Amino acid sequence: MAQANWRLEGEWLKNCNCAYGCPCDFNARPTQGYCKGFLGMRITKGFFEETRLDGLSFFAVVSFPGALHEGNGQLQPIIDERATPEQREALFKIMSGQNSAEGTLFHICSLIVTQMHEPIFAPITFAFDRDARTARLVIPGVLESDVEPIKNPVTGEAHRIQVVMPDGFEHREGEVASADIRSHGAIPFETRGSHSTLAQVVQTPQGVAA
């Protein structure tokens, strides 16, 4: 059961090494048999109890040796360096899963991650346009990613692909796009033309509210 009142509204980005569509979203094995990627958001409006979190960003770089539900994952949190000590603590309490109901995103992460790397506090530059299927994330020396629409290989025209998950624990509706990723932290890897999901989300202790 949730132990605290919190709410996060904002721009959600999940990029990984899978092919477009990311089979992990459907409880299938990752495209290459293992998962490396990141997820996170810019909070447009949010709080944890009395602590406001508006305008902050946080991300988590992850690695799993097989399917996500098999566990044994690694995770490195990255927190906006502008966060105060109180805001950092609030975000860690949300990410820990201890303040979320069973079966929700952060609770599930707490069960499938067995190695937690030291958090990084760094400047985060994040540009996001869900409808255009574009994004750019820059965390100097730590993580960079560029997102663009998936292109038709014959005509070069941009595809628009949406995934709707009414009972999804990460988002309800996401735009599927193409990502390049360069991760330089505790979980280093690179991809070109791999999966990306862009979504507007509302996360609460009871799960996705929108």
State pLDDT tens for residues 23-79.
999 889 999 999 999 999 999 999 999 999 999 999 999 999 999 999 999 999 999
- The answer to whether the CB of 142 falls within 8 A of the CB of 124 is no
- C-alpha distances (whole Å) from 146 to each of 14, 100, 138, 149 are 12, 31, 9, 10
- pTM of the complete model: 0.95
Q: Distance of alpha carbon 87 from its chain centroid, rounded?
A: 19
Mean pLDDT of 84-103: 96
Domain ranges of the chain: 6-208
Mean pLDDT of 80-93: 98
pLDDT score recorded for residue 2? 52
Read off the tokens for 96. 């820990």
